[in-house]
């Protein structure tokens, strides 16, 4: 395969997959701007490895890169000095179908639980595929998903009762 045809195949993949993976990245990170940055970084890394991933499933490879990239970013951020007031101009993720409570509940979950919920229930991955994407065991995915779903049920049920 020539370099031009590889570039064309990569460009077609990015065009077709951009919105799908941006949604996943946005839900994993909780921030649209951070998600775009993460996705762009991962797409650059994918371009370098494109020849090797074409024979495999590039979507699965990119999902794993997104999850791992976010975990790496999160670990680096833990070493930074965090403040209780956000900087001016922080953008919020807007869900068009009125699921603001769900967004808030997802953002309240710990990073790992949020990643499991997004990959399992938004991306509709199996437990095995989610474990592969996050680099953990299937048992970890099951326990994190169970804890996350229990917490979401509690949070969202409390919200429904408060609005009645």
Instruction: Collect all residues with Cβ–Cβ distance below 8 Å to 163 and sequence separation of at least 6.
Output: none
Tokens of 31: 């921030």
pTM check: above 0.85: no
Domain boundaries, the chain: 1-93, 97-164
Residue located via tokens 């990245």? 25
Cα distance between residue 105 and residue 153, in whole Å:
9
Segment 64-108, tens digit of pLDDT: 889 888 877 766 665 555 566 655 544 444 444 546 778 888 888
Is residue 144 very low, low, confident or very high in pLDDT (cuts 50, 70, 90)?
very high
What's the mean pLDDT when you consider all of the chain?
Answer: 81
CATH class, 97-164 region? mainly alpha
Residue pair 117/148 in contact by the 8 Å Cβ criterion: yes
């Amino acid at each position: 395969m020539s370099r031009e045809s590889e570039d064309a195949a990569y460009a077609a993949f990015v065009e077709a997959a951009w919105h799908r993976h941006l949604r996943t990245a946005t839900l994993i990170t909780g921030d649209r701007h951070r998600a775009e940055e993460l996705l762009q970084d991962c797409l650059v890394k994918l371009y370098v490895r494109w020849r090797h991933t074409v024979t495999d499933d590039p979507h699965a490879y990119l999902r794993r890169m997104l999850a791992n990239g976010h975990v790496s970013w999160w670990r680096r951020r833990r070493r930074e000095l965090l403040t209780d007031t956000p900087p001016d101009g922080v953008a919020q993720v807007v869900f068009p179908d009125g699921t603001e409570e769900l967004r808030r509940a997802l953002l309240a979950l710990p990073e790992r639980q949020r990643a499991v919920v997004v990959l399992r229930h938004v991306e509709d991955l199996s437990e095995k595929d989610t474990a592969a994407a996050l680099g953990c065991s299937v048992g970890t995915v099951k326990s994190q998903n169970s804890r996350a779903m229990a917490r979401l049920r509690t949070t969202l049920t409390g919200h429904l009762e408060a609005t009645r």
